[in-house]
Chain A
């Protein structure tokens, strides 16, 4: 089913909101394309929550941002060649990760290299979009996500990449934490710090490639950074933070998809808005709790 027909059906058969959430959701999921959106969105959320923890810990948000733009060039190039965009995303993101990981080991150098790669890839993406006759709709869906266009094949591929990504993080979990927090001691303890930097870039590239399908290139942070940043506010334990980030990413994606069903606006808008609101509310709540605790401590002392 193509995007356009999917949307037409959605507009022609607006299942009305009934306050019976279970039956509403069952009804929404009875549409194939919406079921696929929920499946792909769910997989991407789990991966994003886990990888996002390390993005926040390692301060790699800029790398994630750049990788999504590399993915833009890849997806646009795939469109030109009439290949499924996810392949372009995967190939370009992996290539970009290898270049960025290999060239920029030190933080300052890394930012420069990432910036240079990012600028070139955006230029390439513009060229590919111009070469592609379908021009604006394709560009729009790459930039802002078009999850309702995900096919069952895409869901399977997303699942495969997602499982692989989680396995990679699992395999390098402890040394990656060590290298992220305390690179000097980690190096002395024989942790391969340089190799892990590249391996993490590759993992991030895979996460970015599948996340672009859901929220698009420009809104990638809403899944890869915001949930992990919220988790960072509420818990200090690495394992728990990852679980919280996954739950938040899942909530943002699925609630965004449900709301998007009832409104003629892009799902990615709802997903990013829920993530943003979640961050603001959590931040204010955490500050409130801290303030109350401080006041109580002051009273205790008096």
Chain B
């Protein structure tokens, strides 16, 4: 990292050998139902990956596997060289925004603080506030440019502001891998690209890998390295130009899908009907699931 002047709490993570995430012939599902299978991919250090695909195809399931909240049905999955485990401090996680009560009377700064010590029993001594912890919280809030409103209640913030503080909470523990579940949902177009740029910038300055679930590739097109497409019971990964194409997506969905470009180079996937957007178990078990 040459010329990095970002106020980092610790030095960027060393470029250790081996990928941050390694999946080999991975299958995911709940109970007897398989959602997708035969997924083989790596996530490299510092890489920004967008996870795309229709609703219900298993995008969030991929995050749950990485978080250790769900066990793989088969295959192997490693996070930083080890099987996924709940509470891995090397992972920063931002869930879908709607899981937080929007009216909650809780300050943004206290939310960020929970990312640092919320999992510890007991309480922090009110008599001896630790400066080092406060500094980490402040740095995380500065990193997402939220200092001016972090002490407001979450209920008094816009969706974009709340999303930034959730990102700060994920960053405060100094993770190596960021998992973001639809951080762009419910944001307007300008906020979407701002948020995408912010995540990319933070990831760059801290040498983080990012796995970001999204609905639309366009706000991310300038920042993603590779795209992970989850659809029709399988998972393919590669550069956007190779994955988000009429041929690959049609094969993945097992139905004719067309990728169109507008005059500014934005991609639009058309021709996905409801049936495929909410795959039935038999489609998930499907015979058309292809390995990349």
Contact = CB atoms under 8 A, between A and B. Distances in A.
B105 A57 contact: yes
Contact of A174 (B69, B100, B105, B114): B114
B93 interface: yes
Contacts of A190: 86-87, 119
Contact of B114 (A57, A172, A178): A178
Nearest to A189: B119
Contacts of A191: 118-119
Interface residues on A, range: 20 to 34
Contacts of A148: none
Interface string B154-181: 0000000000001001100000000000
B29 to A, nearest CB: 20
Interface stretch (A1-9, A203-211, A231-239, A247-255): A231-239
B140 interface: no
B95 A57 contact: no
> Which of B105, B110, B153 has the most chain A CB atoms inside 10 A of its CB?
B105
A187 B170 CA distance: 13
B14 interface: no
A236 B153 contact: yes
B123 A181 contact: no
B2 interface: no
A237 B110 CA distance: 8
B126 interface: yes
Given A57-B104, A183-B99, A190-B87, A174 B67 contact: no
B100 to A, nearest CB: 6
Interface in B83-138: 86-87, 91, 93-96, 99-101, 104-107, 110-111, 114-115, 117-124, 126
B151 interface: yes
Contact of B69 (A170, A187, A238): A187
A178 B111 CA distance: 8
Nearest to B118: A178
A21 interface: no
Interface string A178-201: 100111111111110000000000
A181 B100 contact: yes
Given A175-B121, A186-B119, A236 B126 contact: no
Contact of A173 (B115, B123, B153): B123
Interface residues on B, range: 20 to 34
A122 to B, nearest CB: 29
A188 B87 CA distance: 6
Contact of B121 (A59, A172, A237, A239): A172
B115 A185 contact: yes
Nearest to B119: A189
Contact of A188 (B93, B101, B106): B93
B87 A170 contact: no
Nearest to A173: B123
Contacts of A185: 93-95, 114-115, 166, 169-170
A177 B91 CA distance: 21
B110 A182 contact: no
A239 B107 CA distance: 12
A57 B100 CA distance: 12
Contacts of B153: 236
Contacts of A189: 86-87, 93, 115, 118-119
Interface in B230-267: none
A3 B95 CA distance: 56
A170 B123 contact: yes
A173 B110 CA distance: 13
A266 to B, nearest CB: 32
A51 B68 CA distance: 32
A236 B149 CA distance: 13
Contacts of A182: 95, 99-100, 111, 114, 118, 169
Given A188-B69, A189-B118, A174 B123 contact: yes
Contacts of A178: 114, 118-119
Given A57-B104, A175-B120, A190-B119, A239 B126 contact: yes
25 contacts: A57-B105, A57-B106, A170-B122, A170-B123, A171-B122, A173-B122, A174-B117, A174-B118, A174-B122, A177-B114, A178-B119, A182-B95, A182-B99, A182-B114, A184-B95, A185-B94, A185-B95, A185-B169, A186-B114, A187-B69, A187-B86, A188-B91, A189-B119, A190-B87, A191-B119
Given A59-B101, A175-B119, A182-B111, 7 more contacts: A175-B118, A175-B121, A182-B100, A188-B87, A189-B86, A190-B86, A191-B118
Interface of A: 56-57, 59, 170-175, 177-178, 181-191, 232, 236-239
Closest A-B pairs by Cβ, 9 of them? A190-B87, A178-B118, A184-B95, A173-B123, A189-B119, A190-B86, A184-B99, A188-B67, A178-B114
